[in-house]
Structure 1
Amino acid sequence: MESVNVAIIYYSATGTIHALAQAAAEGAEKAGAQVRLRKVAGTEAKDSADVVEAATDDVAWADAVLFGTPTRFGNPAAKLKAFIDGLGVLWQPGQLADKVYSAFTSSATPHGGQESTILALGNVFYHWGGIIVPPGYTDPIQFQLGNPYGTSETASGNPPGDLVLDGARYQARRVTETAAVLKAGRAAIGGDTPDPAPAP
């Protein structure tokens, strides 16, 4: 399989998203990716203390990016959104286009805006010209988890269970495998990632 670079960039307040991000990193690595696990500035989860802070370069380096965030009134947390809003320096010259993107989330109550949070991140990926790869119902585990948009967890104060962690691993594996196919296809036709037109 074509070697790909996968960045997993997240904000975590209580540790739930941190745990999902770690599981996603495991899934991507097992699928053969080079992985950068990164937290955004202001991440409060104590488990994230040793995780490197995300930088614009991590997104530029990546063939695929998974973003993780708790839901805030049905939307991504402000601290993740602030990082995303700072990526204009890559967007303007077209350097965010043609990468693979995916997202995962958690909320304090069942549903609680989980789907709308992932869909809100999808709006960002559309603007970037990204290739969105959700888990869908493409594996038996997805029929148990029930969210085709991305891995989601109802945070109960306890660590995420094995099922949802396996879901995050599967989502990252699917993202990695799709990015590898795209990269191999581009190489086969004699080119790397297309050079899109810069923003006006």
Structure 2
Amino acid sequence: MRRVRETLYPELIEKFHVPIETNNNIPEVSLEDLKWADGLAIGSPTRYGNMAGGMKTFLDTTAPLWSSGVLYGKPVTFFTEASTIHRGHETTILTMSTYAYHFGMIIVPLGYAIPEISSTTTGGSPYGASHLGSKKELDENERKIARFQGRRLAQVARKLKCP
């Protein structure tokens, strides 16, 4: 697990109680991390229906990986969190996925292969797992969907590595 550098102004972090200190022990992501990983699960909190600025800033630095083609054919999946149900979960995932199209990555969506997708208003959509942040803790549907998404990414990565 890696994190991007936070780009929110300190006064906004304080005002909105963003728990930055809980991430201090997680290493910051590097371009090298994207190279060695067999598959990528990329997540971001929702900011006005889009990924957070720190994620956008990091993804904007990946041009050397694009020009070398090192991510071509690598599987990737996306997840998000927003404070309300209609705060842009799906659009956040879609904005992150545009990078994957440019890299020629293989996008691994959830689809409707897990029944919880059809019976939840908080845990995700066919695009990827999500969390309703106003609840603080993940509910059981959110956990099932996220675990399913992780297993699916691992299965696809494993199949792509087989000769």
Which of 70, 77, 84 is the equivalent residue of 1:102? 77
Task: Summarize the alignment of residues 19-58 of structure 1 with structure 2, pairs less than 5 Å apart.
Answer: 37-42=1-6, 45-58=20-33
User: Unaligned stretches of 5+ in structure 1?
Assistant: 1-36, 188-200
- In structure 2, C-alpha distance between the alignment counterparts of 1:74 and 1:116, rounded to whole Å: 5
2:141 aligns with: 163
Which of 23, 48, 57 is the equivalent residue of 1:82? 57
Task: Summarize the alignment of residues 103-142 of structure 1 with structure 2, pairs less than 5 Å apart.
Answer: 103-142=78-117
1:182 aligns with: 160
SS of 2:134's equivalent? coil
- In structure 2, C-alpha distance between the alignment counterparts of 1:123 and 1:182, rounded to whole Å: 21
1:12 aligns with: none
User: Unaligned stretches of 5+ in structure 2?
Assistant: 8-18
- In structure 2, C-alpha distance between the alignment counterparts of 1:150 and 1:113, rounded to whole Å: 12
SS of 1:51's equivalent? coil
Greater Cα offset, 159-168 or 169-178: 159-168
- In structure 2, C-alpha distance between the alignment counterparts of 1:166 and 1:173, rounded to whole Å: 11
Q: What is the aligned-residue identity percentage?
A: 38
Which of 96, 104, 119 is the equivalent residue of 1:144? 119
1:107-128 Cα distance to aligned partner (Å, 9 max, x none) = 1111211111111112111101
Q: Given residue 166 of structure 1, which amino acid in structure 2 is its aligned partner? A: K
Greater Cα offset, 113-122 or 41-50: 41-50
- In structure 2, C-alpha distance between the alignment counterparts of 1:143 and 1:173, rounded to whole Å: 19
User: Higher relative contact order by CA 8 Å / sep ≥ 6: 1 or 2?
Assistant: 1
How far apart are residue 74 of structure 1 and its match?
A: 1.0
Compute the TM-score of the two structures, normalised by the length of structure 1. 0.70
Q: Given residue 55 of structure 1, which amino acid in structure 2 is its aligned partner? A: S
1:71 aligns with: 46
Residue pair 1:104, 1:118 contacting (<8 A) in 2 also: yes
How far apart are residue 157 of structure 1 and its match?
A: 5.0
Alignment: residue pair count: 149
Q: Given residue 78 of structure 1, which amino acid in structure 2 is its aligned partner? A: G
Residue pair 2:114, 2:145 contacting (<8 A) in 1 also: no
Q: Given residue 2 of structure 2, which amino acid in structure 1 is its aligned partner? A: R
Residue pair 1:59, 1:65 contacting (<8 A) in 2 also: yes
- Tell me how large the CA RMSD over aligned residues is: 1.5
